[in-house]
Amino acid sequence: MAARRGGLEEHLRREGYTLVAGVDEVGRGPLAGPVVAAAVILPLQWDDPGVADSKSLGAARREELAQVIRATALAWGLGRCEAEEVDRLNIHRASLLAMRRAVEALAVAPQYLLVDGRFTLELELPQRAVVGGDAQVRCISAASILAKVERDRLMCQYHQRYPAYNFAANKGYATREHREALRRFGPCPIHRRSYRPVAQMELGFK
> What pLDDT was estimated at residue 50?
84
Task: Give the gyration radius of the chain's Cα atoms.
Answer: 18
Binning pLDDT at 50, 70 and 90, where does residue 102 land? very high
Residue % of the chain over a pLDDT of 70:
95
For residue 122, give Cα distances in angstroms to 10, 20, 99, 127.
24, 17, 10, 10
Do the Cβ atoms of 117 and 91 come closer than 8 Å?
Answer: no
Q: What is the mean pLDDT of the chain?
A: 93
Residue % of the chain over a pLDDT of 90:
86
Cα separation, 8 vs 2, whole angstroms: 5
Res. 54: pLDDT tops 60:
yes
Statement: the pTM of the whole predicted model exceeds 0.85: yes
Res. 4: pLDDT tops 60:
no
Q: Quick one: average pLDDT of 79-87?
A: 98
Its CATH class, for the domain covering 7-152, is alpha beta
The strands making up 112-116's β-sheet, listed across from edge to edge, are 75-81, 35-41, 20-26, 112-116, 127-130
Cα separation, 144 vs 139, whole angstroms: 9
Res. 200: pLDDT tops 90:
no
Residue 194: alpha-carbon gap to chain centroid: 20
